[in-house]
C-alpha cells in the first residue's frame, strides 16, 4: 500500500545541516536583527530586546529559535503576545495566528540574565567575561549565548546593534558605528551591519581599549592601480600600543595585496581588537578580527595569523559555507593566503611552505577527506593545511594566470553569498576549460594525501 509522504513539521527544529542539525531552524529565514543590549560589566548582567524580521518558507503554526538560558519576560509575533516554552537551547514560539507561507513577520523577545558561553565539543563558545570587559567568540555555535537567532551559517541577515554600558569602556561591534551617545556614566553605541551576515560572525567586544587608525596602505601594487581605501581601525590596550604598532605596521600593505589577489575588500571597514587577556587562537568576525594579548609581542611572531584572519573576510565571511562540512573553503583559503603573503613579504615561498606542510601531513594518519572531514574534525589541522595544499596543487594544475583569475572571480561573483565545494569545482572547471573531476577527487574526496 502506498503511503502519503509526511508534510514537514511546522517550524522544524533543525537546519538540516550535515554536521550540526540541532543548530538553526526550518520554516523561515531571518532578514534583519534589531538588538538593543544593556550590559553591566561588574555583575555580568545583560538586559535586552531582540526584534527579528523574518520570512516564512512554509506555513507556520509554530517556530523555534536558538537561544541561551535567559529569563524571558515577553515574546511577541507581529505585535501579539505569543506562547513560548524552553527546551534546552531552543525557544519554541506559538504565534496567536498562524503565519502563511511566504509572509514576512516580526518576532520580539525581551530577556535578561547573566550571559554565559554555550558548551560544545570545541569548548565554551559565545559571550564570555574578560578580566575587565567582555567578548564574543561564536564560531560555530555560540551566537545563542547572547541573542535569539536562527543559528546556521547559511541564514545571513542584516543587523542593527545598540549596546549601552559604562562610559570608560570602548564597545566594538561587527558593523559600522553610526552613533554614540553619552549620558551620565553610560554610553550607548549604535552599529549597523548592512551586509548579509551569519549569526556566528556577529561579535561584541567591550574593554578599556584605545581606538586608533591602523597603518594605512601607501604601497602601490604592480598593476599600478591603487585599490579603494578601506577604513581600518584598532582597539588595543594602552600597555600594548608600542608592540601592536610594530606587529601590525604592514597591515595596510597586507590589505592592498589581498585585494589584488581576491578582489575588493567586501565590507565597509576592518577592525582589529586586541584583548588584554590571553586567547588560544584569534577569532574571526564579520569585518573584525580579535587577537589575545599573547599574539602581540613586538616581533611579528604571529603575522601569519594576522593575514589568516584578514583573508577570512573574503573566505568565510563574505563567502560563507552553506553547510559546515564545506569548512575547508574557509580554512584552506585562509591558510593559503598565509603562504602567499609569506612569499610576497620576503619570507618562505608558497612552494617551500607547500613542500614543508606536505611532508608534515604525510606523517599524519590518512583518515580524513577534506571535503567531508566529519563534525569531530571540522577544525582539524589537516583541514587547514591539506586544504591549502589542494589549492597549491590546483595552481600547478591550471597555471598561475588561470588560478589567480579563478580565485578572484570566486570571491567577487559569490560576494556575500553561500558556497559549497561543488560550486568551487564547477567554477574551476569553467576557468580551466576542462574537467577537473579526478583532481578534486584525489585532493579533496580521498583520505590518502596525494603525491606532489
Q: Are residues 277 and 130 in the same domain?
A: no
Examine the residue annotation and report whether 336 is marked as an active-site residue of this protein.
no
The domain containing residue 416 runs over which residues? 321-445
pLDDT at 223: 40
- The answer to whether 312 is annotated as binding is yes
Give the pLDDT band of residue 452 (cuts 50, 70, 90): confident
Do 168 and 299 share a domain, yes or no?
Answer: no
What lies within 8 Å, CB to CB, of 313 at 6+ separation is: 265, 266, 267, 270, 284, 286, 287
Annotated ligand binding at 23? The verdict is no
Answer whether residue 1 is part of any domain. no
Residues 301 and 282 in one domain: yes
pLDDT of residue 210: 95
Distance of CA 161 to the CA centre of its chain: 17
Q: Which residues, 6+ apart, have CB-to-CB distance to 366 below 8 Å?
A: 447, 448, 449
pLDDT on residue 99: 96
- 58 with 193, same domain: the answer is yes
Which of the two residues, 9 and 316, has the higher pLDDT score?
A: 316
Q: Is 90 exceeded by the pLDDT of residue 213?
A: no
202, 225, 260 - which closes a domain: 202
Give Rg (Cα) of the chain.
Answer: 22
The answer to whether the beta carbons of residues 330 and 316 sit under 8 Å apart is: yes
CATH assignment of the domain containing 297: 3.30.2010.30
Q: Please, which pLDDT band fits residue 13 given cuts at 50, 70 and 90?
A: confident
In degrees, rounded to 5, the angle at the alpha carbon of residue 240 between the alpha carbons of residues 238 and 243 is 140
Instruction: Give the confidence band of 222 by pLDDT, cuts at 50, 70, 90.
Output: very low
Q: What is the DSSP string of 377-396?
A: GTT-HHHHHHHHHHHHHHHH
User: Residue 47: what are its φ and ψ, rounded to 5°?
Assistant: -120, 130
- Residue at a domain's end among 149, 183, 202: 202
Is there a single domain that holds both residue 45 and residue 173? yes
8 A C-beta contact, residue 255 and residue 274:
no
Which of 284, 309, 336, 338 is the catalytic position? Answer: 309
- Has residue 6 got a pLDDT over 50? no
Q: Which three cell numbers stand for residue 237?
A: 590596550
What's the count of helices (H) and strands (E) in the chain, helices before strands? 9, 23
256 domain-assigned? yes
* Number of C-beta neighbours around residue 68 at 10 A: 23
336 shares its domain with 228: no
Q: Residue 246 corresponds to which cell in the numbers above?
A: 610594530
Q: How many CB atoms lie within 10 A of CB 228?
A: 8
Q: Is residue 189 part of a domain?
A: yes
Averaged pLDDT for residues 119-131: 95
Residue 55 near residue 48, CB atoms below 8 Å: no
Tell whether 38 and 67 lie within a shared domain. Answer: yes
Q: What confidence tens digit (pLDDT) does each residue in 302-327 have?
A: 999 999 999 999 999 999 999 999 99
- Specify whether 125 is located in the same domain as 238: no
Quote the mean pLDDT of the chain: 93
Would you call 69 a catalytic residue per the annotation?
Answer: no
Q: Is the dihedral of CA 175, 177, 179, 185 positive or negative?
A: positive
| Domains contained in the chain, number | 3
331 among annotated binding-site residues: yes
Among 271, 291, 313, where does a domain finish? 313
Q: Is the same domain home to 188 and 223?
A: no
Check residue 214 and give its pLDDT. Answer: 83
> pTM value?
0.94
Residues 6+ apart with CB under 8 A from 193: 158, 159, 160, 161, 173, 174, 175, 176, 202, 286, 287
Could you identify the residue written with the cell 561588574? 42
Is the model's pLDDT at 399 over the cut of 80? Answer: yes
One DSSP character per residue, 290-355 reads EE-GGG--SS-TTHHHHHHHHHTTTBTTTBEESSGGGTHHHHHHHHHHHHHHHHHTTSS-HHHHHH
Domain containing 70 — which CATH number?
2.60.40.1730
The answer to whether residue 11 sits within a structural domain is no
Is the pLDDT at 225 greater than 80? The verdict is: no
- Burial group, residue 208, by CB count within 10 angstroms (0-12, 13-18, 19+): middle
Establish if 9 belongs to a structural domain. Answer: no
Catalytic residue among 200, 209, 270, 384: 384
Q: For the chain, first and last CA: distance in Å? A: 56
Tell me, yes or no, whether 14 lies in a domain.
Answer: no
At residue 95, the pLDDT reads 97
**Do 308 and 334 lie in a common domain?**
no
- pLDDT band of 368, cuts 50, 70, 90: very high
Does one domain contain both 187 and 77? yes
Confirm whether 16 is domain-assigned: no
Does a structural domain hold residue 170? yes
How far apart (Å, rounded) are the C-alpha atoms in residues 257 and 349? 16
**Max Cα-Cα span within the chain:** 77
- Quick one: which of 334, 391, 421 has its CA closest to 18? 421
Distance CA 12, CA 26 (A): 5
Residue 237 burial by CB count (10 A; 0-12/13-18/19+): exposed, middle or buried? Answer: buried
* Shared-domain flag, residues 260 and 171: no
- Please give the C-alpha separations between residue 272 and each of 22, 102, 372, 410, 452, in angstroms, as whole numbers: 32, 39, 31, 25, 37
Amino acid at each position: 500500500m502506498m503511503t502519503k509522504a509526511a508534510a514537514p513539521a511546522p517550524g522544524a527544529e533543525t537546519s538540516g545541516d550535515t554536521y550540526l542539525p540541532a543548530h538553526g531552524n526550518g520554516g523561515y529565514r531571518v532578514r534583519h536583527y534589531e538588538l538593543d543590549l544593556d550590559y553591566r560589566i561588574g555583575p555580568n548582567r545583560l538586559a535586552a530586546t531582540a526584534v527579528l524580521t523574518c520570512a516564512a518558507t512554509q506555513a507556520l503554526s509554530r517556530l523555534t529559535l536558538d537561544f541561551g538560558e535567559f529569563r524571558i519576560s515577553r515574546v511577541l509575533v507581529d505585535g501579539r503576545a505569543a506562547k513560548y516554552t524552553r527546551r534546552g537551547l531552543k525557544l519554541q514560539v506559538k504565534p496567536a495566528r498562524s503565519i502563511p507561507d511566504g509572509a514576512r513577520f516580526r518576532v520580539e523577545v525581551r530577556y535578561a540574565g547573566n550571559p554565559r558561553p554555550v558548551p560544545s565539543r570545541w569548548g565554551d563558545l559565545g559571550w564570555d567575561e574578560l578580566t575587565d570587559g567582555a567578548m564574543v567568540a561564536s564560531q560555530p555555535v555560540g551566537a545563542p549565548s547572547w541573542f535569539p537567532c536562527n543559528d546556521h551559517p547559511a541564514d545571513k541577515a542584516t543587523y542593527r546593534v545598540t549596546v549601552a554600558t559604562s562610559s570608560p569602556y570602548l564597545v566594538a561591534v561587527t558593523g559600522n558605528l553610526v552613533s554614540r551617545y553619552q549620558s551620565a556614566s553610560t554610553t550607548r553605541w549604535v552599529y549597523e551591519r548592512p551586509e548579509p551576515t551569519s549569526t556566528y560572525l556577529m561579535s561584541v567586544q567591550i574593554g578599556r581599549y584605545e581606538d586608533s587608525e591602523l597603518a594605512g596602505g601607501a604601497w602601490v601594487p604592480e598593476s599600478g592601480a591603487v585599490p579603494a581605501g578601506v577604513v581600518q581601525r584598532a582597539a588595543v590596550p594602552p600597555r600594548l600600543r608600542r608592540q601592536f604598532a610594530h606587529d601590525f605596521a604592514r597591515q595596510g600593505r597586507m590589505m592592498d595585496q589581498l585585494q589584488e589577489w581576491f578582489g575588493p575588500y567586501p565590507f565597509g571597514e576592518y577592525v582589529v581588537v586586541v584583548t588584554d587577556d590571553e586567547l588560544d587562537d584569534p577569532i574571526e568576525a564579520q569585518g573584525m578580527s580579535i587577537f589575545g594579548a599573547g599574539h602581540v609581542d613586538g616581533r611579528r611572531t604571529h603575522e601569519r595569523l594576522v593575514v589568516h584572519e584578514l583573508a577570512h573576510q573574503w573566505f568565510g565571511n563574505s563567502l560563507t559555507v552553506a553547510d559546515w562540512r564545506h569548512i575547508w573553503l574557509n580554512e584552506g583559503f585562509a591558510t593559503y593566503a598565509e603562504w602567499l603573503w609569506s612569499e610576497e613579504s620576503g619570507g618562505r615561498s608558497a612552494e617551500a611552505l607547500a613542500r614543508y606542510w606536505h611532508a608534515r601531513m604525510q606523517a599524519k594518519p590518512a583518515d580524513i577527506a577534506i571535503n567531508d572531514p566529519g563534525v569531530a574534525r571540522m577544525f582539524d589541522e589537516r583541514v587547514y593545511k591539506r586544504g591549502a595544499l589542494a589549492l597549491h596543487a590546483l595552481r600547478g594544475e591550471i597555471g598561475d594566470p588561470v588560478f589567480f583569475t579563478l580565485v578572484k572571480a570566486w570571491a567577487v561573483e559569490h560576494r556575500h553569498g553561500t558556497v559549497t565545494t561543488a560550486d568551487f569545482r564547477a567554477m574551476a572547471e569553467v576557468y580551466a576549460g576542462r574537467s577537473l573531476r579526478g583532481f578534486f577527487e584525489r585532493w579533496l574526496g580521498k583520505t590518502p594525501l596525494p603525491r606532489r
